[in-house]
Amino acid sequence: MTEESYLPDAHSLFEGAPCALVVTREDGSILRANLTFCTWIGFSQEELCGRRFQELLTMGGRIFHQTHWAPLMRMQGSVAEVKLDLVHRDRHIITMLLNGVRREHASGAFYELALFGTTDRDKYERELLNARKLAEALLKEKTATETALQQAQDELSDAYEKAQRRAQFAEQMVAIVSHDLKNPLTAIKMASDILARSERTARETTLLGHISQSSERAQRMIADLLDFALARVGQGLSIAVAPSDLHGVTRLNVDELRVAFPAANLLHQESGSGSALLDADRVQQIIGNLVANSVAYGDSLQPVIITSRIEQHTAILSVHNQGPAIPPSLIDVLFEPMTRGTESDSEVRSVGLGLYIVREIAKAHGGDVGVQSSEEGGTEFSVYFPHSL
């Protein structure tokens, strides 16, 4: 048997085609409809035979047939993918897609129509349309979010620039005012020293001592403010290094601090020998700030120990005191400006720049600063200078 013998004949192909097939006269009268169409539409072949095709359409479909696709069939001989709504036997609507051709025969013209169900296609199109609407909504939301984000970034940038300008202005004002206060304070200090040399009552001597101590403290605060302003405006702290005896510089400064803090027990310890490349005046500033902190926050009944050490390639200066430990939450920010080593209120008057200045001086020397603090061991600040000789 040949392969062709297994193929269905023309009648079977027509009746069982996977689409609806209808043949009509030019006026729409149905001559033949396959079983597929009959099944879809709910009518038998006998019921459809002789009935006009346009009678199976909805009212809108009939108007469309009359004004659109029937004239096209007559003029161009074919139509493709015309969407029509047909009425099922039980009156529900079935949407189909129609392709048709007009063929001339000796007995007249015939329309050969092929109709395809659109249920799956409509569902796909609806899903596609919904997906498109969703995508458009998401795109619109994304665009709005990006616009809002850009606006927020612009506002944040403007606010940051304003804050920077205000901070720079404030720092410049601090530098100017601090510089201008140096002269009157120096005059006050000199006047109190001169007055202290003459004969005075005990009360007057005490008052002059208070004036001298207060002016010295104010001068230290002004020096810190000037250094802070220089560091913040980008100029950095200036240093003039020279080979210096770390032990001698420390010893001299501790002797001066004993006068400034007569109630404190200041002890100096030395270790190692040699000199280091240091700015002696800045080192004295470091010692003064660290000792002032230890006196302010440490146990007044315990000594403050100042240690100067010379090790291989490193000079180290440490200040240790007993007293309450520095809270761990403050350790990481301790060397930032306007920060104090306690979370509680204190009677100590300070602008919180001492440790910041200490770190800046250490950095200017190419060194660093560290701190260790515990209830048992007390608190120790150490400054490392990397250039011992």
Per residue in 189-210, pLDDT tens? 666 667 666 777 777 667 666 6
Angle, CA of 11, 14 and 19, to the nearest 5° = 165
Contacts of 141 (CB under 8 A, 6+ apart): none
Q: Which of 1-15, 51-65, 302-316, 352-366 has the lowest mean pLDDT?
A: 1-15
Specify the pTM: 0.49
How much of the chain exceeds pLDDT 90, in percent?
Answer: 31
Superfamily of domain 242-385: Histidine kinase-like ATPase, C-terminal domain (3.30.565.10)
Integer Cα distance of 304 and 301 in angstroms: 10
- Classified by CATH at the fold level, domain 3-117 comes out as Beta-Lactamase (3.30.450)
Determine the pLDDT at residue 346.
47
- Burial per residue of 217-242, b for 16 or more beta-carbon CB atoms within 10 angstroms, e otherwise: ebbbbbbbbbbbbbbbeeeebebebe
Determine the pLDDT at residue 98.
92
Dmax (CA) for the chain in angstroms is 149
Number of C-beta neighbours around residue 376 at 10 A: 6
pLDDT band of residue 76 (cuts 50, 70, 90) is: very high
Encoded tokens for 216: 């010295």
CATH class of 124-232: mainly alpha
Q: Where are the domains of the chain?
A: 3-117, 124-232, 242-385
pLDDT band of residue 262 (cuts 50, 70, 90) is: confident
Average of per-residue pLDDT across 139-163? 86
